[in-house]
Chain A
Amino acid sequence: GAVVSQHPSRVICKSGTSVKIECRSLDFQATTMFWYRQFPKQSLMLMATSNEGSKATYEQGVEKDKFLINHASLTLSTLTVTSAHPEDSSFYICSAWTGRSYGYTFGSGTRLTVV
């Protein structure tokens, strides 16, 4: 089946630095990928839709200059959290569209802690 690999699984960074999270579709091409954020005990919040070769579409309230998304190839999308602050600490999950039967295949998530 389709596999989405997300890296790193966890990262700790200092306030003010930037962190890049990678999301790869391993055995299929993904023209569209999605980035989610999950706060403790809360639902998945869609942050943005990543489209290969074009600009990402951000959900309302998500700062596009803070959460930079690049989808340069059909198998790779990256999320860069710029000038990270402690309130950016969260669990970030990417997903790729894998057809109507299964909807999305999700990556394993990245736990970001900003200290």
Chain B
Amino acid sequence: DQQVKQNSPSLSVQEGRISILNCDYTNSMFDYFLWYKKYPAEGPTFLISISSIKDKNEDGRFTVFLNKSAKHLSLHIVPSQPGDSAVYFCAAFQGAQKLVFGQGTRLTINP
């Protein structure tokens, strides 16, 4: 049972435009969400997070939006840069220390 879903396996965006990556979840008990970025042959790195008591968190070019009623979160990157090309994973807390990951979305920024 996939509790965290990223339904778009890939996304292609032109440099300078906005990238929007989506994530849906099914467990209403999730109360904290994170986004990780992963380059090939490297481990994921933390990008941004959001608590369920908020609906938006912003850090520079990255903004995460949370819609609890829809059980949906999204990551906005604006403006998109070539270095943003990577696989992005959303994740949610399940229990004290266990994270549940989505399948990942491969973002490609085209010059």
Binding site for B on A (CB under 8 A): 4, 6, 9, 32, 41-44, 46, 49, 91, 93-95, 97, 100-109, 111
Q: Indicate if B103 sits at the interface (CB-CB under 8 A).
A: yes
Determine the distance from Cα of A107 to Cα of B41 in the docked complex, in whole angstroms. Answer: 11
For the complex of A and B, list the 4 residue pairs with the smallest distance between their C-beta atoms, beginning with the closest: A106-B43, A43-B103, A102-B46, A97-B97
Can you list 26 A-B contacts (CB < 8 A)? A6-B43, A9-B41, A41-B9, A43-B89, A43-B101, A43-B102, A43-B103, A44-B44, A44-B101, A44-B104, A95-B43, A97-B97, A101-B49, A102-B34, A102-B46, A102-B49, A103-B34, A103-B36, A103-B93, A104-B44, A106-B36, A107-B43, A108-B43, A109-B41, A109-B42, A111-B41
Contact A106 B44 (CB under 8 A): yes
Binding site for A on B (CB under 8 A): 9, 32, 34, 36, 41-46, 49, 89, 91, 93, 97-99, 101-104
- Known A-B contacts: A42-B104, A106-B45, A111-B41. Give 15 more (CB < 8 A): A6-B43, A42-B103, A43-B104, A44-B89, A44-B101, A46-B101, A100-B32, A102-B46, A103-B36, A103-B46, A104-B44, A106-B44, A108-B42, A108-B43, A109-B42
Determine the distance from Cα of A6 to Cα of B102 in the docked complex, in whole angstroms. Answer: 23
CB proximity of B17 to chain A, nearest CB, Å: 25
Contact B43 A93 (CB under 8 A): yes
User: How many A-B residue contacts, CB cutoff 8 Å?
Assistant: 52
